[in-house]
Structure 1
Amino acid sequence: MDHQTIHCDPHAYSAHPHLAVAANDNWLLVFTQSRRRAGVLHPPQDPLYCNMLMRSADEGRSWSAPSIVPDFGWQGVECAGLTSLRSGVVLLNQWRFDWHTLAYAQAHLAPGAYTRPEQLMGAEAMAAELQDWTPQKSTLAERYPWARGGGQTWVHRSVDGANTFTASTRIDTTPFSGGYGMRGGIEVDGEIMLPLCDVPNYAAVFTVRSGDCGQSWSEPRLVAAGEGHAFEEPAPILLRNGRIVMLLRDNVSRILHVVSSGDSGVSWSAPSPTGIEDYPADMVELDDGRIACVAGRRRAPFGIALYISHDKGKSWNSASPYMVRSGLPNRDLGYPSLALRADGSLYVIYYAQDSQGITGIHASVLVPHADGWRQEGLAYGQG
Structure 2
Amino acid sequence: MVICIFAILAVVFVIAAAAPPVERVTVMENGGYFPVAIRLSSGEILAVMRAGAPHIGKGGRLVLSISGDAGRTWSKPWTAVDGPEDDRNPALGQTADGTVLLAYAVLSGYDPSGLNLSPKREERVFDGVYIMRSKDKGKSWTRPERSEGIYSFYAGKGAVSPYGKIITLADGTVVMPVYFEFSDGRGNESYVFRSKDGGKTWGDPSLLGKHYNETAVVDLGGAKLLAAMRSEKGGHLAVTRSEDDGYAWSEPVQITVDLEHPADLVRLQSGWILMTYGERNPPRGARAVLSRDGGKTWDMSGKIILADDCPNTDCGYPSSVETAKGRIVSLFYRVDDLNAALTSAKCVAALWEASE
Q: Report the TM range for the smaller structure's normalisation.
A: 0.7 to 0.9
Query: In structure 2, do the counterparts of structure 1 residues 216 and 300 end up closer, same or farther at CA, with 3 Å as the change threshold?
Result: same
Q: Which of 138, 158, 163 is residue 162 of structure 1 equivalent to?
A: 138
Q: Which of 32, 56, 76 is residue 65 of structure 1 equivalent to?
A: 76
The answer (yes or no) to whether the contact 2:125–2:159 under 8 Å persists in 1 is no
Question: In structure 2, the residue corresponding to 1:151 is in which secondary structure?
Answer: strand
Aligned pairs for 1:1-383 (under 5 A) are 2-9=23-30, 13-35=31-53, 41-42=54-55, 45-70=56-81, 72-73=82-83, 75-101=85-111, 116-117=118-119, 148-172=124-148, 173=150, 174-176=152-154, 177-188=158-169, 189-199=171-181, 203-225=188-210, 230-277=211-258, 278-354=260-336, 358-370=344-356
- Give distance in 2, aligned partners of 1:344 and 1:179: 35
The structure with more radius of gyration:
1
Query: In structure 2, do the counterparts of structure 1 residues 262 and 119 end up closer, same or farther at CA, with 3 Å as the change threshold?
Result: same
What are the superposed Cα offsets for residues 238-284 of structure 1, whole Å, 9 maximum, x if unpaired? 01444110110002142101111111112111222123541111111
- Give distance in 1, aligned partners of 2:349 and 2:146: 33
- Give distance in 2, aligned partners of 1:118 and 1:165: 35
**Per-residue deviation at 1:232?**
0.6
Query: In structure 2, do the counterparts of structure 1 residues 7 and 270 end up closer, same or farther at CA, with 3 Å as the change threshold?
Result: same
Query: In structure 2, do the counterparts of structure 1 residues 299 and 118 end up closer, same or farther at CA, with 3 Å as the change threshold?
Result: farther
Q: Which residue in the other structure is 1:373 paired with?
A: none
- Give distance in 2, aligned partners of 1:93 and 1:200: 20
RMSD: 2.7
Aligned length: 320
Question: In structure 2, the residue corresponding to 1:175 is in which secondary structure?
Answer: helix
TM-score in terms of structure 1 length: 0.76
The answer (yes or no) to whether the contact 2:128–2:161 under 8 Å persists in 1 is no
Query: In structure 2, do the counterparts of structure 1 residues 200 and 87 end up closer, same or farther at CA, with 3 Å as the change threshold?
Result: same
- Give distance in 2, aligned partners of 1:15 and 1:165: 21
Unaligned 5+ segments in structure 2 are 1-13, 15-22
Query: In structure 2, do the counterparts of structure 1 residues 363 and 102 end up closer, same or farther at CA, with 3 Å as the change threshold?
Result: same
Question: In structure 2, the residue corresponding to 1:323 is in which secondary structure?
Answer: strand
The answer (yes or no) to whether the contact 2:111–2:118 under 8 Å persists in 1 is no
Question: In structure 2, the residue corresponding to 1:78 is in which secondary structure?
Answer: strand
Query: In structure 2, do the counterparts of structure 1 residues 324 and 271 end up closer, same or farther at CA, with 3 Å as the change threshold?
Result: same
46-55 or 166-175: which moved more?
A: 166-175
What are the superposed Cα offsets for residues 80-116 of structure 1, whole Å, 9 maximum, x if unpaired? 0111112011100111012344599xxxxxxxxxx63
Query: In structure 2, do the counterparts of structure 1 residues 362 and 171 end up closer, same or farther at CA, with 3 Å as the change threshold?
Result: same
Of Structure 1 and Structure 2, the greater helix share is in 1
**Per-residue deviation at 1:328?**
2.1
Query: In structure 2, do the counterparts of structure 1 residues 24 and 276 end up closer, same or farther at CA, with 3 Å as the change threshold?
Result: farther
Q: Which has the higher contact order (CA 8 A, sep 6+)?
A: 2
- Give distance in 2, aligned partners of 1:315 and 1:165: 40
- Give distance in 1, aligned partners of 2:126 and 2:44: 35
Query: In structure 2, do the counterparts of structure 1 residues 163 and 253 end up closer, same or farther at CA, with 3 Å as the change threshold?
Result: same
**Per-residue deviation at 1:354?**
4.9
Structure 1 segments, 4+ long, off by >4 Å, are 199-202, 354-357
**Per-residue deviation at 1:332?**
1.6
TM-score in terms of structure 2 length: 0.82
What are the superposed Cα offsets for residues 41-75 of structure 1, whole Å, 9 maximum, x if unpaired? 51xx32221111111122212111111113x4264
Question: In structure 2, the residue corresponding to 1:79 is in which secondary structure?
Answer: strand
Query: In structure 2, do the counterparts of structure 1 residues 254 and 78 end up closer, same or farther at CA, with 3 Å as the change threshold?
Result: same
Query: Percent identity between the aligned chains?
Result: 24
- Code of the residue aligned with 2:194 in structure 1: it is R
